[in-house]
Amino acid sequence: MSGTTAVSGQVGRGAGPPASSVGSRLLSVGTALPDGVLTNADFEEMMATSDDWIRSRTGIGERRVGGTTTSLAIEAAAVALDRSGIDRELIDLVIVATQTPDDLCPSTAAGVQHGLGLTCGAFDLNAACAGFSYGLVVAHSMLGSSMRAAIVVGVDRMTAATNYEDRTTAILFGDGAGAVVMTAESTGGRGVQAWDTGTDGGHSDILRSPIKDGRVTGVEMNGKVLFKHMVRYACTSACRAVEQAGLCFDDVTAVLAHQANQRILDAVADRLKVDRGKFVSVIEHTGNTSAGSVPLALDAAVEDGRVRSGDAILLLGFGGGLSWASTVAIWQ
């Protein structure tokens, strides 16, 4: 396997399958995108930019805008729950990954729990664009210790946290949500095979969404430096998870990676010496939806038949923190 990169001493990480023989299985995925559309032509009206510049630097053509974080999360989770076919009484946990909650309290997960008529526990987590991927690892661990089923949602309303005076960041972000239903799995043949998580808090200043005087003022980022770190950490984490699963990249049918930028997806694929076509891309029509992007990519791949039951998939999130998380799973 190629592409493994040494990580510096300041990086914290965890990896593995769990000690317990009980694992988790990914049963279904659902998504939600708001109705509003913000095209590159709209940006040409708003600021000094061009469709050509945006497409060539990012691969983005349009983004979806609207809804609330809670409404998008409920919609995606409801679709996933419906597609899973399981009795909602079995859901013991709702995790919502988001960096753009409607309110700091109550959690978005509480709104999802109530909106779906569930009676289980629910909480939010924030690992920025890696949030959904962290949520998978947390749910996997909790399902391995007696919970029966869980819903993991990744959702962000990034347009509510975007500074439209900054043309470098404004063109990147969109709104969207995705969710999966996971169940406890004891056979080991299906579901989550391995995972890897990591954080490099020493580089947190490269990508920030600061709160000033109680207001989110927009994303601040050093795009070029971030690009290099993200490619390096994404490759390292992907290699660890695939190795830990006892697989090689040839065994992996599809990579569902964070949709930050088409050039990052291509760079990670090239560095891993994996066919670019294995990296599912929805970024042209969604932009960067942060925690929503990995399940949006998964849903697209399931819908168009690129991911089928029994396929090995790699789910790979990375972003602010800097944080990253990878999961290798046998789909359904």
Q: Which is nearer to ligand COA, 94 or 231 (CB)?
A: 231
In whole angstroms, the minimum distance from the beta carbon of 60 to ligand COA comes to: 9
Residue range at the interface with ligand COA (CB under 6 A); choices 76-84, 177-185, 188-196, 226-234: 226-234
- Is position 99 an interface residue for ligand COA (rule: CB under 6 A)? no
Examine residue 223 and tell whether it contacts ligand COA (CB under 6 A). yes
Other C-beta atoms closer than 10 Å to the C-beta of 114 total 15
Query: Under a CB-based contact definition with an 8 Å cutoff, are residues 191 and 25 in contact?
Result: yes
Per-position x/- string for 261-300, each x denoting binding to ligand COA as judged by CB under 6 A, each - no binding = x--x-----------------------x------------
CA distance 227 to 82: 37
Kindly determine how many residues on this chain lie close enough to bind ligand COA according to the rule CB under 6 A. Answer: 20
Assigned token pair, 288: 């960067």
Active site residue 222: no
Distance (Å, whole) CA 62 – CA 265: 18
Nearer to ligand COA, 219 or 328 (CB): 219
Give whichever of 116 and 130 is closer to ligand COA, judged by the CB atom: 130
Please report whether residue 38 would count as binding ligand COA according to CB under 6 A: no
Residue ranges in 102-141 that form contacts with ligand COA under rule CB under 6 A? 129
Q: Which is nearer to ligand COA, 69 or 183 (CB)?
A: 69
Query: Contacting ligand COA (CB under 6 A), which of 226, 245, 315, 329?
Result: 226
Please say which residue, 128 or 147, places its beta carbon nearer to ligand COA.
128
DSSP labels, 46-107 = HSS--HHHHHHHH---EEEE-S-HHHHHHHHHHHHHHHH---GGGEEEEEEE-SS-S-SSS-
Q: Answer yes or no whether residue 319 interacts with ligand COA by CB under 6 A.
A: yes
Q: What whole-number distance in Å separates Cα of residue 23 and Cα of residue 255? A: 21
Name the nearest CA neighbour of 317 among 73, 100, 134, 126. 134
User: What is the C-alpha separation between 140 and 219, in angstroms, rounded?
Assistant: 31
Task: Report how far residue 91's alpha carbon sits from residue 323's, in angstroms, rounded to the nearest whole number.
Answer: 28
129 is an active site residue? yes
* Between 155 and 302, CB nearer to ligand COA: 155
Q: How many CB atoms lie within 10 A of CB 37?
A: 14
Binder among 83, 88, 167, 229 for ligand COA (CB under 6 A): 167
Q: Interface with ligand COA by CB under 6 A: which range of 4-12, 21-29, 65-73, 259-267?
A: 259-267
Report in angstroms the alpha-carbon separations of 44 from 22, 39, 170, 261. 53, 9, 12, 19
Catalytic residue among 120, 129, 235, 239: 129
- Shortest CB 311 distance to ligand COA, Å: 26
Residue 126: active-site member: no
Residue-level length of the chain: 332
Integer Cα distance of 159 and 292 in angstroms:
13
Instruction: Give the distance from CA 305 to its chain's centroid.
Output: 20
168 belongs to the binding site for ligand COA (CB under 6 A): yes
Active site residues per annotation: 129, 258, 288
Which residues of the chain form contacts with ligand COA (CB under 6 A)? Answer: 49, 53, 57-58, 129, 167-168, 171, 207, 221, 223-224, 226-227, 230, 260-261, 264, 288, 319
